[in-house]
Structure 1
Amino acid sequence: MEDDSSEEEFVENVTDCPGCGQPCGHEVLRERKAGSGSNYLLKCDECEHIHTVQIREPRPIKIPFLLSEGANTVLVDIDVDEDEVLHIGDIFEYSDASWEINRVETRTANSRTKLVASKVGRANAIRSDVVMVRLTLTRGEFSDSDSIFVERETMYKAGSIMEHGGERWKIRAIHTGTGRTMSGRVVAHDIKRIYLHEPPRPEENIPKTPRERRQAWKEGRLGDNPNPVLPDAEKSGKPKQQRPGRRQKKKRL
């Protein structure tokens, strides 16, 4: 049985050919070292035109970077190839951390979305693998502000309980750049602020009546239950608990 699969053709030493006017494979006739690079004498595989190509390693230049991590900011000089193009949103490694470029300026301090390194006056970057999440902690009538540093993909859920400062707090709401949620989940790098309330003491939060238990179940205070069910007291046909001080009606004969 014949093999109908066609073999892939690999072309080596592809570069622009002055004779063909397009990228073609070439045969290397001679290589000569020149400074930090090399000069190559090439022969085109298509038109057999012979020409020289000079390849040089890009010269590294120092660019001032303003690196911000939370409230701390430092100015450092980082070596970058002079022909490299810096884009807003680019992520690079420096000092055992990841950084994301959020501003690129020309030598006249004009902002650009992208710029070749040789024309960059300064670049700003923020720590990208760790983010700062701001907190507002409310205890009674008093509120304090604080912040924490977490991995950028950490997930927070409004209505849940979290540990902070050795205490348990309830996430009352999560504020993002576009709004506020009191029940959803938000990833850390999208959070502008988390509002924390001191959770009620256990003795203040014990559901007593069937209605209170159902409500607590729906709110997740008795565990995560996507399909609330009736308490056993109501399933078995037992009478509902009466509120204290409420007069019961007598049946008429």
Structure 2
Amino acid sequence: MSDHDAPPAQVPVECPACGAETPHEVLKAGGHATVQCTECAHTHKVEVPEPTTVDVDVVVSQDGESYTTTLDGEPEETVAVGDEFVVETPQAIQQVRVTSIELSGDRRVEESDLDHAATVWTRVVDNVAVNITVHPKDGRRDETRSLKVYVPGDFEFVVGETKSFGDDEIEIEGVQVRDEAGDRYRHEKFDHEGDMVYAKDVKRVYARDTKTAAWSAW
């Protein structure tokens, strides 16, 4: 989102010296800004209205917990499902992705300007929890189990690669993509060797246990 503390680089006003209505460089911001004409270089004062901003409630979700903060911006700025931005919360400064936008009356939309958005729902994507379904190596001794790992959002899950997480060693067999990340990928699920999905885009990983010894009756 925009940094509203920074003055505009230029404003279109009429120059009292040359009479041209042309962009002026802002030399000193404020209610009565000091500007310089880009046509004749004349410097003068002009009233520049401060930009109007709005605050929108943001719900931040991370690993089953939720907390709230706010997002400020110009009323006409748009926010859409899949957008990412940085928020500051009591917990930390975090990168989040929009998962849903709520208007007044509990109506959900894919995109809205900030002036009409009541609540923006997000989830943290700089560090994420990824659910992994692990199939047994031999298919007989062990049953399918679930594993949750915590990795950076840009961690790569590549089909066919072997990964170690603590005492677990698994081979990636497939990756299911989250709904809001669908536009970034060709398919919703990948299972061909070399296919890659970033952790922040993963809905679930399917893998094979590579450390379980094969069962033997002897």
In the superposition, the TM-score normalised over structure 2's length comes to 0.63
Contact 1:70 1:132 in 2 (8 A): yes
Percent identity (aligned): 14
Q: What is the aligned residue count?
A: 182
Equivalent residue for 2:111?
113
Q: Which of the two has greater strand per residue?
A: 2
Q: Which of the two has greater helix per residue?
A: 1
> Residue 129 and residue 68 in structure 1: after superposition, are their counterparts in 2 closer, same or farther (change >3 A)?
same
Query: Which of residues 29, 48, 53 is equivalent to 2:47?
Result: 53
Query: Which of residues 195, 202, 208 is equivalent to 1:191?
Result: 202
Distance in 2, matches of 1:68 and 1:27, equals 40
| Higher normalized contact order (CA 8 Å, seq sep 6+, divided by chain length) | 2
Query: Which of residues 79, 83, 100 is equivalent to 1:87?
Result: 79
Let me know the Cα RMSD of the aligned residues. 3.8
1:127 aligns with 2:124: yes
* Alpha-carbon distance, 1:80 to partner: 1.6
* Alpha-carbon distance, 1:136 to partner: 0.6
Equivalent residue for 1:240?
none
> Residue 158 and residue 56 in structure 1: after superposition, are their counterparts in 2 closer, same or farther (change >3 A)?
closer
> Residue 143 and residue 67 in structure 1: after superposition, are their counterparts in 2 closer, same or farther (change >3 A)?
same
Q: Secondary structure at the match of 2:144?
A: strand
Contact 2:58 2:120 in 1 (8 A): yes
AA partner of residue 23 (structure 1):
T
Which 5+ residue runs of structure 2 have no aligned equivalent? 1-8, 178-187
1:101 aligns with 2:93: no
Distance in 2, matches of 1:170 and 1:27, equals 58
AA partner of residue 72 (structure 1):
E
Distance in 1, matches of 2:207 and 2:26, equals 69
In the superposition, the TM-score normalised over structure 1's length comes to 0.55
- Structure whose CA Rg is larger: 1
Equivalent residue for 1:160?
161
Equivalent residue for 2:56?
63
Contact 1:104 1:115 in 2 (8 A): no
Contact 1:100 1:125 in 2 (8 A): yes
Contact 1:175 1:191 in 2 (8 A): yes
After the TM superposition, which residues 1-253 of structure 1 pair with which residues of structure 2 at under 5 Å, given as runs?
14-17=11-14, 22-25=21-24, 37-40=30-33, 52-56=46-50, 58=52, 61-74=54-67, 76-78=68-70, 80-81=72-73, 83=75, 85-88=77-80, 89-94=83-88, 95-110=92-107, 111-116=109-114, 118-139=115-136, 140-141=139-140, 142-171=143-172, 173-177=173-177, 178-187=188-197, 188-199=199-210
Which 5+ residue runs of structure 1 have no aligned equivalent? 1-11, 205-253
> Residue 79 and residue 16 in structure 1: after superposition, are their counterparts in 2 closer, same or farther (change >3 A)?
same
AA partner of residue 98 (structure 2):
I
> Residue 201 and residue 107 in structure 1: after superposition, are their counterparts in 2 closer, same or farther (change >3 A)?
closer
